[in-house]
Structure 1
Amino acid sequence: MDTANMTIELSYALDTFYFLVCGALVMWMAAGFAMLESGLVRSKNTAEILTKNVALYSIACVMYLLLGYQVMYGGDGINGVIPSLGALLPGENTTEAVLAGGEGAPYYSGASDFFFQVVFVAATMSIISGAVAERMKLWSFLTFAVFMTAIIYPVQAYWSWGGGFLSAAGYSDFAGSGIVHLCGGVGALIGAIMVGPRKGKYDAEGRPRAIPGANMPLAALGMFALWLGWFGFNGGSQLVLSSVADANAVAKIFVNTNTAAAGGLLAALITARIKWGKADLTMAVNGALAGLVAITAEPLAPSPLAATLIGAVGGIIVVFSVLALDRLRVDDPVGAISVHGTAGIWGVLIVPASNTGASIGPQLLGLAAIIGWTAAASAVVFALVKLGMGLRVTEEEEYEGVDIAECGLEAYPEFVGARGGTAG
């Protein structure tokens, strides 16, 4: 084999390996979501939220394999709106195809692309679990997960990443502030509204009461796990690493991702200090995540300082979004709607400020399409699940804790009281 062909094969192997490693980092975000959410719910609901997280990841993997990938990459479809079904999985690339070179030659394994995409789907579904925590039936939630991962997410992702009408319109969303995070945030909003708030969350006048989580160390650890996974989320979306230009781009994406998170955390922490006179850890944690969501739509074009400011604005936004949702009596125990939904909108809108190839019109069109489709489809699925299975546990089960009602075990059995409940 000549030197040129060896170079092509080496680049193919390196880019495939990089794609797989980034996918593995994104998979680790599943652990981050599980830790974050189990830290922010009460102890009596911990085992159930963990069960949701491990089960939804597996559902996403199976449903995206069976249907979601075919929907998202099905081809031209009808007017770029209604997707057609493609192959079950991408075929293996041959050595001859790789060595052919040119624009159409594959430059990483198709299976590595599938793996990278499937962990994105799981991340979208993980966003929803925290917003409906502590009162939604486990099996009703998992039924919704089937539809979200097989149809709802893939359809709107096809519009952008699958070559649909948003792609043709010029919508720009590098790693998915809108496609992934806003989609999950809207699904979470619809779920929280339809399930209703937790008992005791609001008083007779509608004023919110604080319901502290059981394990702040675990919540903080979950934040750092998500922060780490985000390097794969944004860095992997560059797709390749094997050229000097791509390697430099990946390095800049990592720097911008990191500094946006730091900016978001500090801005949320300072905002909370100004507003309440205290350093609120939950706001700091969500501020970091909001900064990460905000930079995800364009982590390459901004300078590191601009990325810090983009993340900082996300951190400020998330504090006031949480307060606004509470005033509207939308109960979100972990702040997922604000982190992924509200900060996701900001991330999509700010893209044209740093990316000269993007304009505000297509960004607004993308937001309208993602919000409209996800809200309508989620509402229909939640309504059908409510008719068939019910959405909410009973008042007694909610009081005792959904760990016992749904899982038959306690996450912290040493705290079990004489009546069989928990201290949470």
Structure 2
Amino acid sequence: MASPLTCSAVDLTPLLGLAANATAAADYICSRFTAADDQFTNTAYAINNTYLLFSAYLVFAMQLGFAMLCAGSVRAKNTMNIMLTNVLDAAAGGISYYIFGFAFAFGVPSNGFIGKHNFGLKSIPSEVYDYSFFLYQWAFAIAAAGITSGSIAERTQFVAYLIYSSFLTGFVYPIVSHWVWSTDGWASASRTSGSLLFGSGAIDFAGSGVVHMVGGIAGLWGALIEGPRLGRFDRSGRSVALRGHSGSLVVLGTFLLWFGWYGFNPGSFITISKSYNTSDTFYGQWSAVGRTAVTTTLAGCTAGLTTLFSKRLLVGHWNVTDVCNGLLGGLAAITSGCAVVEPWAAIVCGFVAAWVLIGFNKLAEKLKYDDPLEAAQLHGGCGSWGLLFTGLFAEKQYVHEVYGLGRPYGLFMGGGGKLFAAQIIQILVIIGWVSATMGPLFYALKKLKLLRVSKEDEMAGMDMTRHGGFAYVYHDEDTSSHPPPGFMMRRIEPSGASPAPNNDSTTNVV
């Protein structure tokens, strides 16, 4: 925000001459300057808060993307269950983040480990935070919970979702976000008190580590402790594909998530009305916002195309689900450095992210690890690569604009290894913290028999056994919609084969 306009009646009076009313005129002119300055300040606050609210709405729209992606990636008999868990992530996460989470993450003043103020949004709005900031951060918190729900889909009791979602959004995630994003956090590149980690702080601009790694590592422990779905591996240990029931929903969810990422990454600037005080009056934070949207786009596009051709070479066909997951992996990876890298570097990020995802998926298959949405591999693996990528490719000019002059920047860009070292520390502490908190929680739920559904319920599908019916059951009461007498739907046979005769009058649904 620009420096405020100033006017001093004492300095202005001599300039108005010796007129009897010179002092009164000076006071009047300065009062008008002050009023104009207040109006400019109010306008800047309004612009920035509107920008942040709009970004929050975009990030919240990602919940719909998660819901569609999850629904399409599971079997039809579990559609209602996974959709309900996505609704639950937002609802339960909203209450827990309001009461505890926001305070643990951003309550100031605090120590380097945890926030201590603003429980239940007490003393907000303030000079530091407005309500829009809470809404934006809540949307991030529930995104982390949504990632985890994909890893443990199709076999988890509903009560377990309630418990882990509240715990993750109310405690586990806020602590990590405090470390990296709060001005008091011990690893934060924006820290204003105390020394910076390696003189740099960890740069995780929009959450490759804070959001994606936290959600991915939590999902990893949940899936490991639960074990694979029934039928995922046969008696000899070979992998059996349990394919999702709707590629259309997967594509719809992917596009919704991609759309929401433009609030996730560019919105993390928090403000847009800020000048960088350069000779180019057209260049400011608004330009950095646009560049961040471009790097986000290029990383996702590159990862999607890389996955498309790589999987074609590896398995011999074009697979839209793999391409969608690859694209999302690129978006998860660029999230850390989106604001501090050049567009060309984002292409490198997306290319490597695609191979990171392919590699982790191969490893998961060998270890007989079952994650229906590849969430741990995608968000945990690609998120880790994103943090390393930032430590390698962060551009000097952009780091100084966003985080301040004199900061270390990318190793490959000539900035030394301090930022890269801070990024490695962030990866290690996130893995350690989430493992130490979510691992025991999932284990305790298993011991209490609250984690996994029974074999019978899993085989029948949770929609029928737990939620009152399937998502795709239709009851046509309109007789005009019934097929004419003698009409019969037939199964589609392979090319060249004749359909088997069917004398049964029962309609066969394909």
- Please say whether Structure 1 and Structure 2 have the same fold, judged by a TM-score greater than 0.5: yes
SS at match of 1:321: helix
Q: Deviations over 1:142-197 (max 9, x none)?
A: 21111111111111111111222112311110000001100000000000001110
1:124 aligns with 2:144: yes
Residues 147, 381 of structure 1: 8 Å contact kept: no
Question: Counterpart of 1:35?
Answer: 68
Which letter maps to 1:293?
A
Which moved further from structure 2: 339-348 or 243-252? 243-252
Amino acid at match of 2:464: I
Please report how far the alpha carbon of residue 92 of structure 1 lies from its aligned counterpart in structure 2 after TM superposition.
4.7
Q: 1:74 to 1:9 in 2, by over 3 A?
A: closer
1:24-423 pair list within 5 angstroms: 24-75=57-108, 77-78=110-111, 80-89=112-121, 91-93=123-125, 110-162=130-182, 163-167=184-188, 168-169=196-197, 170-243=201-274, 244-355=283-394, 356=396, 357-358=408-409, 359-414=419-474
Instruction: Sort the Cα spacing of 1:326 and 1:259 in 2 relative to 1 into closer, same or farther, 3 A.
Output: same
Maintained 8 Å contact 1:22/1:233: yes
CA distance in 2, matches of 1:233, 1:194: 31
Q: In structure 2, what is the Cα distance between the partners aligned to 1:375 and 1:413?
A: 40
Percent identity over paired residues: 34
Name the count of aligned residue pairs. 404
- Asked if the contact 1:75–1:85 (Cα under 8 Å) also holds between the matched residues in 2, the reply is yes
Alpha-carbon shift at residue 4 of structure 1 (Å): 2.4
Higher mean C-alpha deviation, range 46-55 or range 163-172: 163-172
Higher helix fraction (1 or 2): 1
- Residues 109 and 117 in structure 2, CA contact (< 8 A), matched pair in contact too: no
**Aligned match of 2:50:** 17
- SS of 1:49's partner is helix
Report if aligned partners of 2:333, 2:383 keep a CA contact under 8 Å in 1: yes
State the distance in 2 between where 1:171 and 1:152 align.
19
Q: 1:63 to 1:93 in 2, by over 3 A?
A: closer
Q: How much does 1:409 deviate?
A: 1.8
* Paired AA for residue 186 in structure 1: I
Q: CA deviation at 1:91?
A: 3.5
Q: Cα distance, 1:315 vs. partner?
A: 1.6
Q: 8 Å contact 1:266–1:284 — kept in the other structure?
A: yes
CA distance in 2, matches of 1:207, 1:403: 28
C-alpha distance in 2 between matches for 1:241 and 1:73: 21
Name the structure 2 match of 1:418.
none
What's the secondary structure of 1:88's corresponding residue?
helix
Asked whether the 8 Å contact 2:207–2:336 carries over to 1, the reply is yes
Name the Cα RMSD after superposition: 1.8
1:230-289 CA deviation, whole Å, 9 max, x = no partner?
Answer: 000001101111135111011111111111110110111111011111112121001110
Alpha-carbon separation, structure 2, partners of 1:64 and 1:92 = 15
Q: Is the 8 A contact 2:387 2:423 kept in 1?
A: yes
Would the aligned equivalents of 1:125 and 1:145 in 2 still touch at CA under 8 Å?
yes
Instruction: Give, in whole Å, the separation in 1 of the partners of 2:135 and 2:94.
Output: 9
Q: SS at 1:413's partner residue?
A: coil
Q: Corresponding residue for 1:98?
A: none
Q: Which has the larger radius of gyration?
A: 2
What TM-score do the two structures reach when normalised by structure 2?
A: 0.76
Name the CA distance, whole Å, in 1 between partners of 2:221 and 2:106: 27
Counterpart secondary structure, 2:304: helix
Per-residue deviation at 1:82? 4.7
Mind listing any 5+ residue stretches in structure 1 that lack a counterpart? 95-104, 416-422
Distance in 2 (alpha carbons) for counterparts of 1:245 and 1:252 = 11
